[in-house]
């Protein structure tokens, strides 16, 4: 247990807190009908469970872990020597066994595990039994190529079932997978393969994206000139385009699978055996290899998935995240498969061939649970309701979001236009580092307020504190921390334990610092105010830029907004808002600029009024959809963009933003 924070001095804290200004009063209680069949069906039941877990966390997590299959039971639930945690010590298990084998002896053997739709419209369905067979065969392929326990395997593919098969096969053998998002460049591949010293690369010839074929193998070929650790490459044929195969090094997936046997036992692995490394960008140059291990990750990914999505056996569950991000690891593959869910998976872009694609798939596949990102929701708002209204979305019963704060107005649109006011919206807060959802409503229990991830899950102890670790008062902005280790906590930054300590355990004594600013309202609901580096100080007021963004998005003509600070002699910082308008009718006029500035002043107060509004066709985003505020800060400050832009999705946007400079 971390030491209890000492009482701090209020004057010192005043300079290290964040002012919060967003006001949101709407509350939506779970409907009786939803609560009646929910796993956790009242707020009182949630609070009881939460208190129980706080009283005896080890007992709580031990009970949760007992739901899954272990080859050997653990001797000790947790061990904490700051900053290193171990969970389920002495226990052995296998995540792949829990995701597949356990269902073969239950009624789920012939249930669809994956329903997949390719971007061109091709479809595949695999039952648990079929998926198990493919994974066993591919595990044998890996073994034959010298892959075993402890080896690192890099995976670089589009969203095809074989990506899930490859990662499950690694998990089956105890090889540590390192999935690199299919949209990354060959330089990103070099950095990640070398940092992890991967022995093998599994890739595809290409992927379909917005009607185009993206060649993945050529990026691998370029990367492999500088990655001495790689011995073999296995290439899955998806697009059928011509690729170069290096004799002796490169092998076709289908050739090797044709020769592979379909029996392969899952390896019993120590609970602390490394399951995967996933790279995430830090605020500075070098990506961080977030390391997750086997037992604790499995327990929380699966349990949080069942609780938050209130999973039932007849659900058809769709999380739109790419498997190349942590959301895809935990909530496309591991969590849902361990729970025996039917997972829908889609290969391509949300607007191909048009903005109706997602809604058409929900209608055709009768999706019941839909989990996506605020950035996608705002894009759909912008495209217009007519795309949504063409389709029957009545199969939906639950909606979720993840990845960034959802503006209350975008939440309301999601709830109304997609959920038709009958689906709870679970706004889930978590990070690559946390492995699984930490703060989220439970849909049958928690009254919802648009814009907040509400309360922590049972077993998770979060708080909003001052720099010295003392708790903030209700509605006072501060730093979001986790006060006690949890099973799916990252174990370290791969190969850089010093950076791990510094990044997460040195800002606030005895607590894991998330890097996010937040406030807790009087009901204990956590309102995320964005990363602390997105916090700005305007005329002595520290403001979360996401709150100003929410106010802008609440204006009828605004689709999306990103607010950054630029240095200002008078006020310390001035706010610059980059704004995209909804299509149809909204002209980027000077009058509209004034109207928007006044609108923010009305919504929040004159201190938050942006000094400058710049209209733009699009905002620069990472491939996972996060707005690259760092680039906007550099542009707003009048300077050149100097930092690393390898994760930017569309380089053209930077040029357009520069041109709009002197509007
Ligand atoms: C942000 C994604 C507000 C937050 C799973 C966090 C959110 C970072 C939410 C982690 C949410 C994620 N509300 N902010 N519901 N979910 N974030 O590692 O700033 O890609 O620290 O993990 O996204 O991003 P990551």
Judge if the beta carbon of residue 329 lies within 6 A of ligand 1: no
Ligand 1 geometric centre to CA of 283 (Å): 14
For residue 353, cis peptide bond before it (omega within 30 degrees of 0): yes
CA-nearest residue for atom 22, ligand 1, is: 431
User: Ligand 1 pocket test: which of 329, 374, 429 has the largest number of ligand atoms within 8 Å of its C-beta?
Assistant: 429
Write the CA distances from 272 to 147, 179, 256, 279, 335, integer angstroms.
Answer: 19, 20, 31, 19, 18
Ligand 1 geometric centre to CA of 550 (Å): 16
Judge if the beta carbon of residue 403 lies within 6 A of ligand 1: yes
Ligand 1 geometric centre to CA of 90 (Å): 32
Say how far apart CA 254 and CA 236 lie, in whole Å.
7
The 10s digit of each residue's pLDDT in 410-452 is 999 999 999 999 999 999 999 999 999 999 999 999 999 999 9
Written out in words, the top-level CATH class of the domain with range 96-349 is: alpha beta
Say how far apart CA 511 and CA 396 lie, in whole Å.
39
- Label each residue of 236-274 as H, E or C: ECCCCCCCCCCCCCEEEHHHHHHCCCCCCCCCCEECCCE
Ligand 1 geometric centre to CA of 182 (Å): 21
Say how far apart CA 17 and CA 334 lie, in whole Å.
38
The atom number, within ligand 1, closest to the CA of 433 reads 18
Ligand 1 geometric centre to CA of 551 (Å): 20
The atom number, within ligand 1, closest to the CA of 439 reads 15
Task: Tell me the H-state helices in 56-127.
Answer: 57-65, 95-96, 102-104
Identify whether the C-beta of residue 153 lies closer than 8 Å to the C-beta of residue 177.
yes
Judge if the beta carbon of residue 294 lies within 6 A of ligand 1: no
CA-nearest residue for atom 14, ligand 1, is: 404
Question: Which residue ranges make up each domain of the chain?
Answer: 96-349, 539-662
What pLDDT sits at residue 550?
86
Q: What is the pTM of this model?
A: 0.87
The atom number, within ligand 1, closest to the CA of 514 reads 21
Judge if the beta carbon of residue 280 lies within 6 A of ligand 1: yes
What pLDDT sits at residue 565?
86
Say how far apart CA 85 and CA 466 lie, in whole Å.
24
E strand or H helix that includes residue 78: strand 76-81
The atom number, within ligand 1, closest to the CA of 401 reads 15
What pLDDT sits at residue 404?
84
CA-nearest residue for atom 6, ligand 1, is: 431
Written out in words, the top-level CATH class of the domain with range 539-662 is: alpha beta
The 10s digit of each residue's pLDDT in 533-549 is 666 767 666 677 887 88
Give me 131's structure tokens: 């998926």
Identify whether the C-beta of residue 304 lies closer than 8 Å to the C-beta of residue 335.
yes
The atom number, within ligand 1, closest to the CA of 327 reads 5
Ligand 1 geometric centre to CA of 539 (Å): 28
Q: Where are the beta strands (DSSP E) in 263-422?
A: 269-270, 274-280, 288-293, 316-319, 342-346, 369-372, 398-402
**Residue ranges in the chain modelled with pLDDT below 50:** 1-16, 283-285, 660-663
Ligand 1 geometric centre to CA of 264 (Å): 37
CA-nearest residue for atom 11, ligand 1, is: 429
Ligand 1 geometric centre to CA of 329 (Å): 15
Identify whether the C-beta of residue 482 lies closer than 8 Å to the C-beta of residue 430.
no
């Amino acid at each position: 247990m971390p030491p209890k924070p000492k009482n701090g001095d209020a004057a010192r804290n005043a300079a290290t807190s964040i002012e919060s200004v967003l006001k949101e009063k709407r509350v939506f209680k779970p409907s009786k009908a939803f609560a009646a069949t929910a796993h956790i069906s009242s707020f009182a039941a949630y609070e009881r469970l939460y208190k129980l877990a706080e009283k005896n966390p080890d007992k709580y997590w031990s009970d949760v872990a007992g739901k899954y299959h272990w080859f050997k039971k653990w001797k000790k639930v947790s061990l904490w020597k700051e900053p290193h945690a171990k969970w389920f010590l002495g226990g052995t298990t296998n995540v792949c066994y829990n995701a597949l084998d356990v269902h073969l002896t239950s009624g789920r053997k012939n249930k669809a595990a994956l329903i997949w739709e390719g971007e061109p419209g091709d479809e595949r369905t695999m039952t648990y039994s079929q998926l198990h067979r493919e994974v066993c065969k591919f595990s044998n392929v890996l073994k034959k190529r010298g892959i075993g326990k402890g080896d690192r395997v890099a995976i670089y593919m589009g969203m095809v079932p074989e990506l899930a098969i490859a990662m499950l096969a690694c998990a089956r053998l105890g090889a540590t997978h390192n999935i690199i998002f299919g949209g990354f460049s060959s330089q990103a591949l070099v950095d990640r393969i070398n940092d992890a010293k991967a022995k093998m690369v599994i890739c595809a010839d290409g992927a379909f994206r917005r009607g185009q074929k993206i060649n993945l193998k050529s990026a691998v070929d370029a990367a492999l000139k500088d990655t001495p650790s790689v011995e073999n490459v296995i290439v899955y044929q998806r697009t059928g385009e011509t690729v170069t195969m290096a004799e002796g090094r490169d092998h076709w997936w289908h050739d090797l699978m044709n020769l592979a046997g379909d029996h392969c036992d899952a390896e019993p692995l120590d609970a602390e055996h490394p399951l995967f490394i996933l790279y995430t960008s830090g605020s500075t140059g070098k990506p961080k290899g977030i390391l997750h291990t086997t037992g604790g990750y499995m327990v929380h990914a699966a349990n949080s998935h069942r609780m938050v999505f209130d999973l039932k056996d007849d659900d058809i569950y769709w999380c739109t995240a790419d498997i190349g991000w942590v959301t895809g690891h935990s909530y496309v593959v591991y969590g849902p498969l361990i729970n025996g869910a039917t997972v829908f998976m889609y290969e391509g872009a949300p607007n191909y061939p048009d903005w109706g694609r997602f809604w058409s798939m929900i209608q055709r596949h009768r999706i019941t649970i839909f989990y996506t990102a605020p950035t996608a929701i705002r894009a759909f708002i912008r495209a217009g309701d007519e795309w949504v209204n063409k389709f029957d979305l009545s199969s939906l019963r639950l909606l979720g979001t993840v990845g960034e704060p959802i503006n209350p107005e975008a939440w309301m649109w999601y709830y109304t236009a997609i959920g038709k006011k009958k689906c709870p919206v679970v706004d889930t807060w978590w990070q690559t580092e946390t492995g699984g959802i930490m703060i989220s409503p439970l849909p049958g229990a928690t009254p919802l307020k648009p814009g907040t991830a509400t309360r922590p899950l049972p077993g998770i102890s979060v708080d909003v504190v001052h720099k010295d670790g003392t708790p903030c008062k209700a509605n006072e902005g501060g730093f979001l921390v986790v006060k006690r280790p949890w099973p799916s906590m990252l174990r370290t930054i791969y190969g850089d334990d010093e950076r791990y300590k510094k990044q997460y355990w040195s800002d606030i004594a005895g607590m894991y610092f998330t890097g996010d600013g937040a406030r807790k309202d009087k009901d204990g609901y956590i309102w995320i105010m964005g990363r602390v580096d997105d916090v700005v100080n305007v005329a002595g007021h520290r403001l979360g830029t996401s709150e100003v963004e929410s106010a802008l998005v609440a204006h009828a003509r605004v689709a999306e907004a990103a607010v950054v600070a630029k240095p200002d002699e008078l006020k310390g910082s001035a706010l610059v808002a980059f704004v995209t308008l909804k299509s149809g009718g909204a002209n980027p006029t000077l009058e509209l600029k004034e109207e928007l500035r006044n609108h923010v002043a009305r919504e929040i107060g004159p201190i938050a009024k942006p000094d400058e509004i710049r209209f733009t066709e699009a905002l620069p985003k990472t491939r996972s959809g996060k707005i690259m505020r760092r680039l906007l800060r550099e542009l707003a400050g009048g300077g050149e963009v100097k930092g690393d832009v390898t994760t930017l999705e569309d380089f053209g946007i930077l040029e357009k933003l520069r041109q709009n400079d002197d509007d």
